[in-house]
């Protein structure tokens, strides 16, 4: 009888101790916010273009953490979807076409400066403050800060903003992958175009 | 000299055919000047240099044509004297085949050097003095020296070793790549310079020893270097080390490993091991730069390959086209033309031979197809592992290949892809002839791009968050401001309410106190009536007045400032000031009006002329006078300055004058009727005195005030418009006249309300009479006087305008004269009316009450006619005058004037006849 009692008492004491420990830890090491949001946000391209239907990358990250689809980010494209799928442990899906298509080249906004009337509308539209200028003064895009989201194109009353591909120079050029027929076997050879000479 | 140090070995490496003998038998030749030199601004690692010459400039040999941009950069010098032909985009010798900004120089053939001197003489040092290290580094940087081994890293940057304590300087003379003999020939022919450079570098780095590593396939070079070392007394710690021939022993990390046994850590630099490595050619260039002031403008380049007949080494100026060099060497273009810049292992095929030689061009290889077959038959990897055996960096090329091919970049990175030196040993040994290095280069580029994108995304995220935060902050600030404002107004309202409540209590006590001494039955209601607007408004009005005055003061200050500065905004400010002034006056008047009735209210029947209006008029007069004074001042100032605005100012002055006169008149007329009223109202009945009905009176006053202020503004506008020569002047003037008439009317109404006609008061049944009399009598002498005055003032103005127009010789003179005449006639008419009105009204006093209405019935017709006659007489007079004037001056218009005079006389006769007939009737 006394052994049962001792066992019960010991278990009760242990439960109380560990419960207190856990309670203390949950208060002491309380994590603010949802850490998954930041992880998702880090994977998103941060163009802040809003093509996903959310006002920026962070809001979309929050939506993904709440269970939204991961295939709504055209600037990120397939690689971002893949990365998100890996992070969240879900099946990657093809890019949702209704949010736009993935661009094959990075773009940058350029203001045709003689045509700019200095209305500041594009400045207000730019999510990353990459446009410089003031009222009735010519505006210009800081190319290094531009994410190519093209949110500034639509508000321009004189249509003087172009989205041009980022120029390639020695600093961002790199070798193409070899294109020569590497495969010997006929079946392998057929798969060459499908692989897109990776 | 025997070897004194222990040699080590690195893993891997290959032994390809050396093929050096073709080009190392002939001495270095100097390449003749080409037709043009094309100098890319980005021949080194780091930021491109910034051009400091422009098209058409004449440059001397050795002159700086582009300056370094940033720390990791190098300047560029003109390789020969000539003219800068262009600054344009040209294709550059780079694997990408991209175009970059280049300076194109057309040589003049004279090869004129700029002045140059050794660092020692520049610093004024004797031969015994040691060269200061920072000066040497500065000289190296200014001479544009970049690593001549192949990478082109700015040497001066490499010499900034920071905290690292350097004990070993290594000079790289291994030149392990097949075909190339440029360093070999340099060491043979310029060994002295190499050793001198080693000594200088040693001094800069304070390295105890200097190891010159040379492969054992260059015995002549080793011999020459050793001789140079023994010849140079300063070369104490310099040691020429012969190393076994093995590719790629010339790699920096491999050479360090061979000579010291130390391995440069992954991602680290040799300096962390206390070692600095330089190419022998760089050392020679440093010696030239420091001892002779020679900038880096040329290098030794090997031209070899079976496609050239005359293989050998050339001393080439930078910018020399590759085709020029090939032609000198007897190049025979192949079916599949292929010229490689660099060696067969690490070089790249040039897209065209019209590319310049740059600082990193150590070799131009033009092989035949047989000699160096093109590889386009890559086969599947058979996992033989030979690449791993050959890799000098101990990597797993096969794994890297798989990862690169599958785009598994993160895994490739984990397998230390970035430690790959791209030596090509793995590709060389691959039995499947897979272009492995190309895969690695591509993967490295893709990873770098990914990193850049991630960095950019992070940057964009920070900027986005900063923007969001800023927007929220601004919103919060706005909200806070709005709240503060709302609170302030609420508080003010509360305070007002409290004050009102207090005041309400005070009057409650007030009547009792004021009632006691005055036992008039009418006192209570009158006090109540007066007390209503009084207590709560008095305080407020006082405040209002104060604030209006202070604002006025400020406005004045602003105006004077603006005038002092000669700002364009002066008229606007003045306008604002006038508006302010009017407002202040209004406030003051309101305040006085509110304050004065108090003493009056106990005796509402007081026969005094309303002191408040009197007071006010006096004030008004005063202020008008003061404004007049100011206007005068301004006018005289403007005249003194000879300003263009004189006319406008004069006009404004005249209006001011007229106004002053008007106000004075108003004041006097307000003052004078008082005794009359007093005399004629002997029996004031308290209940029967609704005539100065305080409310309607107040309203009328307000109306008048506002009309006045509007008039003021309209005048202002007119003068401005005239000043600006606007074409709206006429319209504005019209509006002004309308305004003036209205103001006069309201004033008359007010005064009529204030000073009711003595006649109706005399009528004892005052029930209905006051109402009738409250209406402004259009024929009252008061009003007529006003009218006359204003007509006079307008006439005055018109005269002014006319004389101005005549002075200016304006073509509007005629029109203005006509307008003036019309004005004159009108003035005369009003004067006549006034006089006519004065006489009957005076007589009406003496007449009985009954007779008055009858005379009033007859009067208007006759009066009108009489006035007309008078006016007509005046006109005739004027016409005569003009005619006389015209005659005197002998003008051509005499006849016309005569005709006009006759017409006028006719009209006068007509009118007189009418009058007499009316008088008879």
Q: Chain A closest CA to B449's CA: distance in Å?
A: 7
Residue B330 contacts A, CB cutoff 8 Å: no
What does the pLDDT look like over B375-395, one tens digit per residue? 667 888 999 999 999 999 999
User: Which candidate from A47, A129, A172 shows the least CB-CB separation from B449?
Assistant: A172
Closest to B82 measured CA to CA, from B38, B118, B54, B112: B112
Dist. CA A50–CA A75, nearest whole Å: 10
B460/A168 CB distance under 8 A: no
Residues B280 and B219 placed together within one structural domain of the fold: yes
In 3-state terms chain A splits into helix, strand, coil percentages (rounded to 5) of 40, 5, 55
* A130 burial level (CB within 10 Å; 0-12, 13-18, 19+): buried
pLDDT for res B567: 61
Q: Chain A closest CA to B470's CA: distance in Å?
A: 11
Segment among A110-114, B96-100, B588-592, B883-887 with least mean pLDDT = B588-592
Instruction: Report in angstroms the alpha-carbon separations of B751 from A169, B609, B688.
Output: 88, 11, 19
What does the pLDDT look like over B277-325, one tens digit per residue? 999 999 999 999 999 999 999 999 999 999 999 999 999 999 999 999 9
Residue B779 lies in a domain: no
Residue A170 contacts B, CB cutoff 8 Å: yes
Closest to B104 measured CA to CA, from B152, B67, B47, B57: B57
Residue B453 contacts A, CB cutoff 8 Å: yes
Dist. CA B455–CA A145, nearest whole Å: 11
What is the average per-residue pLDDT within B329-334? 86
Segment among A55-59, B22-26, B490-494, B729-733 with least mean pLDDT = B729-733
Closest to B28 measured CA to CA, from B190, B227, B220: B190
Mark the ranges of chain A whose per-residue pLDDT is less than 50. 182, 186, 188-198
Structural domain containing residue B204: 29-123+130-365
Q: Chain A closest CA to B561's CA: distance in Å?
A: 28
H-helix segments, B348-435: 386-390, 397-405, 409-414, 425-429
User: Which candidate from B379, B458, B468 shows the least CB-CB separation from A184?
Assistant: B379
pLDDT for res B753: 65
Residue A174 contacts B, CB cutoff 8 Å: yes
Dist. CA B649–CA B635, nearest whole Å: 6
pLDDT for res B645: 62
Dist. CA A170–CA B360, nearest whole Å: 15
Closest to B203 measured CA to CA, from B129, B123, B126, B146: B129
Please compute Rg for chain A using Cα positions: 27
The yes-or-no verdict on residue B600 having pLDDT over 70 is: no
Closest to B687 measured CA to CA, from B848, B815, B526, B509: B526
pLDDT for res B863: 74
What is the average per-residue pLDDT within B252-267? 93
With CA atoms as reference, the chain B residue closest to A38 would be B461
Where does a domain end: B605, B622, B648? B605
Q: Are B327 and B321 in contact (CB under 8 A)?
A: no
Q: Chain B closest CA to A107's CA: distance in Å?
A: 13
pLDDT for res B601: 43
What does the pLDDT look like over B45-62, one tens digit per residue? 999 999 999 999 999 999
- CB contact set of B772 (below 8 Å; sequence gap of 6+): B760
Residue B312 lies in a domain: yes
Helix H or strand E encompassing B105 = strand B99-107
Residue B39 lies in a domain: yes
Residues B391 and B416 placed together within one structural domain of the fold: yes
Termini Cα distance of chain A: 74
pLDDT for res B614: 65
Residue B465 contacts A, CB cutoff 8 Å: yes
The answer, yes or no, to whether the previous bond of B248 is cis (omega within 30 of 0) is: yes
Residue B324 lies in a domain: yes
What is the average per-residue pLDDT within B754-778? 45
Residues B413 and B289 placed together within one structural domain of the fold: no
Residue A32 contacts B, CB cutoff 8 Å: no
pLDDT for res B641: 63
pLDDT for res B765: 43
pLDDT for res B909: 84
What is the average per-residue pLDDT within B841-851? 42
Instruction: Report in angstroms the alpha-carbon separations of A12 from A3, A9, A61, B751.
Output: 14, 5, 44, 103
Provide, rounded to the nearest whole percent, the portion of chain B with pLDDT above 90. Answer: 43
Residues B296 and B430 placed together within one structural domain of the fold: no
Between strands B64-67 and A140-141, the pairing is: unpaired
Most confident listed range (A94-103, B73-82, B602-611): B73-82
Helix H or strand E encompassing A36 = helix A35-43
Residue A132, both tokens: 């410089």
DSSP string for residues in B755-767: S--HHHHHSS-TT
Dist. CA B695–CA B501, nearest whole Å: 23
Dist. CA B355–CA B168, nearest whole Å: 38
Residues B238 and B265 placed together within one structural domain of the fold: yes
3-state secondary structure of A165: strand
| CATH number where B475 lies | 1.10.1060
What phi and psi, each to the nearest 5 degrees, are found at residue A29?
Answer: -105, 40
Please give, one letter per residue, the 3-state secondary structure of B479-499: HHHHHHHHHHHHHHHHHHHHH
Residues of A in contact with B379 (CB under 8 A): 182-184
Q: Which domains does chain A have, with CATH numbers?
A: 35-99 (1.10.15.40), 105-166 (3.30.70.20)
| CATH number where B170 lies | 3.40.50.11540
DSSP 8-state symbol, B685: -
* B396 burial level (CB within 10 Å; 0-12, 13-18, 19+): middle
User: Which candidate from A129, A175, A182 shows the least CB-CB separation from B442?
Assistant: A175
Dist. CA A94–CA A97, nearest whole Å: 9
Task: Using the structure block, give the residue that is written with the tokens 């086209």.
Answer: B321
pLDDT for res B149: 84
3-state secondary structure of B228: helix
Q: Chain B closest CA to A99's CA: distance in Å?
A: 20
Where does a domain end: B365, B386, B418? B365
The yes-or-no verdict on residue B201 having pLDDT over 80 is: yes
Maximum Cα–Cα distance across chain A:
97
Residue B627 lies in a domain: no
Residues B548 and B529 placed together within one structural domain of the fold: yes
What phi and psi, each to the nearest 5 degrees, are found at residue A107?
Answer: -115, 160
Annotated binding site of A for [4Fe-4S] cluster: 49, 52, 57, 73, 116, 119, 122, 126, 146, 149, 152, 156
Q: What is the pTM of this model?
A: 0.60
Where does a domain end: B340, B365, B390? B365
What phi and psi, each to the nearest 5 degrees, are found at residue B29?
Answer: -110, 150
pLDDT for res B644: 60
The question of ipTM being above 0.85 is answered as no
Closest to B736 measured CA to CA, from B766, B765, B707, B715: B715
pLDDT for res B812: 65
The yes-or-no verdict on residue B615 having pLDDT over 60 is: yes
Domain count, chain B: 3
Residue B579 lies in a domain: yes
Instruction: Report in angstroms the alpha-carbon separations of B132 from B99, B120, B168.
Output: 40, 10, 19
3-state secondary structure of B314: strand
What does the pLDDT look like over B778-837, one tens digit per residue? 456 666 777 777 777 777 777 777 777 676 665 666 767 777 777 777 777 777 776 666
pLDDT for res B860: 65
Size of interface A-B (CB pairs under 8 A): 96
Residues of A in contact with B439 (CB under 8 A): 177-178
Residue B469 lies in a domain: yes
The yes-or-no verdict on residue B848 having pLDDT over 60 is: no
Task: Using the structure block, give the residue that is written with the tokens 């002034």.
Answer: B581
In this prediction, residue B374 has a pLDDT band, given cuts at 50, 70 and 90, of confident
Residues B413 and B458 placed together within one structural domain of the fold: yes
H-helix segments, B70-154: 119-123, 133-142
pLDDT for res B570: 67
What is the average per-residue pLDDT within B115-133? 85
DSSP string for residues in A69-117: -S---TTTHHHHHHHHHHHHT-------GGG-PPPSS-EEEEE-TTT--
Mean of the per-residue pLDDT values for chain B?
79
Residue B338 lies in a domain: yes
Residue B375 contacts A, CB cutoff 8 Å: yes
What does the pLDDT look like over B523-567, one tens digit per residue? 444 444 444 445 555 667 777 777 777 877 777 777 777 676 666
Residues B385 and B340 placed together within one structural domain of the fold: no
Closest to B104 measured CA to CA, from B78, B90, B89, B84: B84
With CA atoms as reference, the chain A residue closest to B452 would be A172
Residues B396 and B353 placed together within one structural domain of the fold: no
CA angle B254, B259, B260 (to 5 degrees): 100
Closest to B210 measured CA to CA, from B219, B222, B218, B202: B202
With CA atoms as reference, the chain B residue closest to A130 would be B463
Residues B235 and B317 placed together within one structural domain of the fold: yes
Neighbours of B803 (CB within 10 A): 13
Termini Cα distance of chain B: 156
Dist. CA B699–CA B686, nearest whole Å: 22
In this prediction, residue B172 has a pLDDT band, given cuts at 50, 70 and 90, of very high
What does the pLDDT look like over B876-894, one tens digit per residue? 887 788 788 777 776 666 7
DSSP 8-state symbol, B130: P
User: Which candidate from A170, A176, A198 shows the least CB-CB separation from B42?
Assistant: A170
Residue B878, both tokens: 């004027």
What does the pLDDT look like over B647-679, one tens digit per residue? 666 776 677 777 777 777 766 666 665 444 444
Q: Are A128 and B458 in contact (CB under 8 A)?
A: no
Residues B453 and B475 placed together within one structural domain of the fold: yes
With CA atoms as reference, the chain B residue closest to A45 would be B457
Annotated binding site of A: 49, 52, 57, 73, 116, 119, 122, 126, 146, 149, 152, 156
Residues B352 and B217 placed together within one structural domain of the fold: yes
What is the average per-residue pLDDT within B509-526? 44
């Amino acid at each position: 009888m006394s052994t049962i009692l001792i066992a019960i008492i010991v278990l009760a004491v242990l439960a109380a101790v560990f419960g207190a420990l856990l309670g203390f830890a949950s208060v002491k090491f309380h994590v603010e916010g949802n850490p998954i949001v930041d992880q998702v946000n880090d994977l998103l391209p941060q163009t802040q273009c809003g093509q996903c239907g959310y006002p920026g990358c962070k809001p979309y990250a929050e939506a993904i953490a709440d269970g939204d689809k991961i295939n709504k980010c055209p600037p990120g494209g397939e690689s971002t979807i893949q990365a998100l799928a890996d992070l969240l442990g879900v099946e990657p899906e093809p890019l949702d076409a209704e949010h736009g298509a993935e661009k094959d080249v990075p773009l940058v906004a350029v203001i045709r400066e003689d045509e700019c009337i200095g209305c500041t509308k594009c400045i207000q539209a730019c999510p990353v403050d990459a446009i410089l200028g003031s009222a009735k003064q010519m505006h210009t895009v800081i190319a290094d800060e531009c994410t190519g989201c093209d949110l500034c194109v639509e508000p321009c009353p004189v249509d003087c903003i172009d989205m041009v591909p980022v120029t390639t120079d020695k600093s961002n050029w790199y070798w193409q992958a070899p294109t020569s027929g590497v495969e010997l076997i006929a079946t392998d050879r057929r798969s060459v175009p499908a692989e897109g000479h990776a | 000299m025997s070897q004194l140090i222990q040699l080590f070995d690195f893993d891997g490496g290959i032994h390809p055919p050396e093929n050096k003998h073709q080009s190392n038998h002939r001495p270095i030749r100097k390449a003749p000047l080409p037709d043009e030199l094309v100098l890319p601004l980005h021949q080194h690692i780091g930021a491109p240099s910034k051009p400091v010459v422009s098209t058409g400039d004449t440059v001397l040999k050795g002159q700086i044509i582009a300056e370094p941009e940033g720390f990791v950069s190098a300047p560029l010098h003109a390789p020969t004297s000539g003219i800068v032909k262009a600054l344009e985009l040209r294709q550059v010798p780079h694997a990408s085949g991209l175009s970059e900004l280049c300076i194109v120089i057309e040589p003049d053939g004279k090869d004129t050097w700029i002045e140059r001197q050794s660092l020692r003489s520049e610093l004024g040092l004797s031969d015994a003095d040691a060269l200061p290290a920072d000066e040497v580094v500065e000289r190296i940087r200014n001479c544009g020296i970049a690593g001549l081994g192949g990478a082109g890293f700015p040497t001066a940057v490499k010499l900034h070793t920071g905290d690292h304590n350097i004990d070993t300087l290594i000079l790289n003379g291994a030149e392990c790549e097949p075909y190339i003999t440029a360093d070999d020939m340099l060491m043979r022919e310029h060994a002295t310079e190499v050793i001198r450079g080693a000594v200088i570098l040693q001094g800069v780095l304070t390295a105890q020893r200097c190891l010159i590593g040379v492969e054992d396939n260059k015995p002549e070079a080793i011999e020459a270097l050793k001789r140079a070392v023994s010849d140079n007394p300063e070369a104490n710690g310099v040691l020429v080390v012969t190393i076994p021939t093995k590719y790629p022993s010339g790699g920096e990390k491999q050479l360090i490993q061979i000579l010291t046994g130390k391995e440069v850590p992954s991602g680290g630099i040799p300096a962390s091991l206390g070692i600095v490595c330089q190419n022998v050619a760089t050392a020679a260039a440093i010696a030239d730069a420091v001892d002779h002031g020679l900038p880096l403008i040329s290098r030794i380049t090997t031209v070899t390959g079976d496609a050239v007949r005359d293989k050998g080494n050339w001393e080439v100026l930078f910018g020399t086209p590759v085709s020029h060099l090939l032609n000198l060497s007897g190049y025979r273009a192949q079916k599949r033309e292929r010229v490689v810049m660099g060696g067969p292992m690490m070089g790249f095929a040039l897209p065209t031979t019209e590319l310049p030689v740059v600082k990193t061009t150590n070799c131009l290889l033009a092989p035949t197809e047989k000699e160096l077959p093109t590889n386009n038959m890559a086969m599947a990897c058979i996992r033989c592992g030979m690449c791993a055996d050959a890799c000098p960096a101990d990597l797993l090329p096969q794994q890297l290949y798989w990862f690169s091919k599958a785009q598994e970049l993160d895994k490739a990175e984990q397998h230390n892809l970035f430690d790959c030196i791209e030596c090509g040993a793995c590709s060389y040994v691959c039995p499947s002839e897979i272009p492995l290095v190309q895969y690695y280069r591509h993967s490295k580029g893709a990873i770098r791009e990914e990193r850049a994108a991630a960095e950019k995304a992070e940057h964009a995220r920070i900027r986005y968050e900063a923007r969001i935060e800023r927007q929220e902050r601004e919103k919060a600030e706005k909200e806070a401001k709005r709240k503060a404002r709302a609170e302030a107004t609420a508080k003010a309202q509360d305070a007002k309410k409290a004050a009102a409540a207090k005041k309400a209590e005070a009057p409650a006590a007030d009547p009792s106190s004021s009632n006691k001494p005055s036992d008039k039955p009418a006192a209570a209601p009158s006090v109540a009536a007066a007390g209503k607007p009084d207590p709560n408004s008095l305080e407020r009005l006082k405040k209002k007045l104060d604030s209006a005055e202070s604002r006025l003061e400020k406005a004045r200050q602003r105006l004077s400032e603006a005038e002092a500065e000669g700002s364009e905004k002066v008229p606007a400010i003045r306008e604002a000031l006038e508006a302010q002034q009017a407002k202040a006056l209004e406030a003051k008047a309101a305040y006085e009006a509110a304050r004065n009735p108090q003493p009056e209210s106990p005796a509402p029947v007081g026969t005094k002329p309303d002191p408040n209006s009197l007071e006010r008029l006096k004030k008004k007069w005063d202020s008008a006078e003061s404004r007049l004074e100011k206007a005068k001042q301004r006018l005289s100032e403007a005249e003194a300055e000879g300003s263009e605005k004189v006319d406008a100012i004069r006009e404004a002055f005249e209006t001011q004058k007229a106004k002053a006169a008007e106000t004075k008149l108003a004041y006097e007329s307000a003052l004078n009727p008082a005794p009359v009223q007093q005399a004629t109202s002997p029996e004031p009945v308290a209940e029967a005195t609704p005539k100065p009905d305080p409310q309607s009176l107040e309203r009328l006053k307000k109306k008048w005030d506002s009309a006045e202020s509007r008039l003021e503004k309209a005048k202002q506008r007119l003068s401005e418009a005239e000043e600006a020569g606007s074409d709206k002047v006429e319209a504005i003037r019209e509006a002004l006249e309308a305004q003036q008439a209205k103001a006069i009317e309201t004033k008359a109404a007010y005064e009529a309300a204030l000073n009711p006609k003595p006649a109706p008061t005399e009528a004892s049944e005052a029930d209905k009479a006051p109402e009738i009399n409250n209406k402004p009598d259009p024929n009252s002498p008061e009003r007529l006087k006003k009218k006359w005055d204003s007509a006079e003032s307008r006439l005055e103005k018109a005269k002014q305008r006319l004389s101005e127009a005549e002075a200016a010789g304006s073509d509007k003179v005629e029109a203005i004269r006509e307008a003036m005449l019309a004005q004159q006639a009108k003035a005369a008419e009003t004067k006549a009316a006034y006089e006519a009105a004065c006489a009957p009204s005076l007589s009406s006093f003496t007449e009985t009450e009954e007779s008055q209405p009858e005379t009033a019935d007859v009067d208007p017709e006759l009066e009108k006619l009489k006035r007309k006659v008078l006016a007509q007489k005046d006109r005739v007079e004027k016409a005569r005058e003009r005619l006389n004037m015209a005659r005197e001056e002998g003008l051509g218009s005499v006849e016309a004037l005569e005709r006009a005079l006759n017409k006028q006389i006719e009209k006068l006769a007509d009118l007189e006849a009418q009058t007499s007939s009316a008088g008879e009737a």
